[in-house]
Amino acid sequence: MIAPGCTIAGCAVAGSSRYQEGLTQMLLAVDIGNTQTVIGLIHGRAIESRWRMATDATLTSDEIRVKISGLLALDGHEHDAIDGVAIASVVPSLTAAYEDLAERITGTRPLVIGPGVKTGLAIAYENPREVGADRIVNAVAAIEAHGAPVIVVDFGTATTLDVVDASGAYLGGAIAPGVETSAEALFRRAARLSAVDLEPPTRVIGRSTRESIQAGLLFGEAARVDGLVRRTWLELGYECPVVATGGLAERISPLCETITAVDIDLTLTGLALVWERRQ
């Protein structure tokens, strides 16, 4: 059955619908993932600029500053306009570099999501310190936009599924290799298979090696996500909205049967929400 207040509808691409007004200051939100880093400039709860770049764990704070200065300048912004910085990172070696950068451009310490930081999210995980910062802020933003209960599927280096129950508590979820990670392992281990672009296939029965790989990777990923979601609904005892995010969300979500919304800015929105609540 569907939880009270929830409906299962067709998949829609949208931002967080309830996230419309608020921040009067300019926030630089930084989501440091294993493969890509997404940076957003947020003002008035509107993401004015968004940039995605490859994560390089060897960068120093000076090198990061050069990169971010260039991105800001391209969109007509300057460091002086930034009032605060919020960071969610799964790459410890880069966290300190971004913290140093934040202090240099704002004169204040950034908000770094991690153990001991109050986010307003109740965590029912066995060891809350093990929950990734991105998973926490995704859950915060999903509750704000869709209410609770809600499930978040993040298509990144890993494909993660995170569950918030009807009381608004983060329960945990599932972690699996992301589709690009699986593809890299396949091409590395299978000598006769060459890398292909991850374009959505038109059929399951591939008529060429390229089509067969695309079908296996993308339809396979969609089937895995749908299977995990349905098993989660069974454990919860009810169905609830499923919101997708991450770099491949817009590409894979249309192949899924259980995803009800796509929000590529979920992590940035969650960072802004937590930062605002702590002001």
In degrees and rounded to multiples of 5, residue 144 shows phi and psi of -60, -40
Give the chain's largest Cα–Cα span: 59
pLDDT at 15 over 50: no
Residue 174 CA to residue 155 CA, distance in Å, equals 12
Mean pLDDT, residues 17-22 taken together: 43
pLDDT at 2 over 60: no
Evaluate whether the domain defined by 116-270 bears CATH number 3.30.420.40. yes
Give the model confidence (pLDDT) of 22-53 as tens digits: 556 899 999 999 999 999 999 877 899 999 99
Q: Are the folds of 26-114 and 116-270 the same?
A: yes
The sign of the CA dihedral 244, 172, 141, 39 is: negative
pLDDT at 254 over 70: yes
Helices 92-106/61-74 angle, 10° precision: 60
Q: Which CATH architecture has domain 26-114?
A: 2-Layer Sandwich (3.30)
What percentage of the chain has pLDDT greater than the value 70? 90
Chain mean pLDDT for the chain: 88
Given this model, what pLDDT does residue 42 score? 94
Q: Which of 16-20, 136-140, 238-242 has the lowest mean pLDDT?
A: 16-20
Whether 134 is catalytic is yes
Instruction: Give me the catalytic one of 134, 162, 165, 263.
Output: 134
Question: Hey, where are the domains in the chain?
Answer: 26-114, 116-270
Residue with tokens 């969610």: 88
Q: What are the DSSP E strand ranges found in 18-58?
A: 26-32, 36-43, 46-54
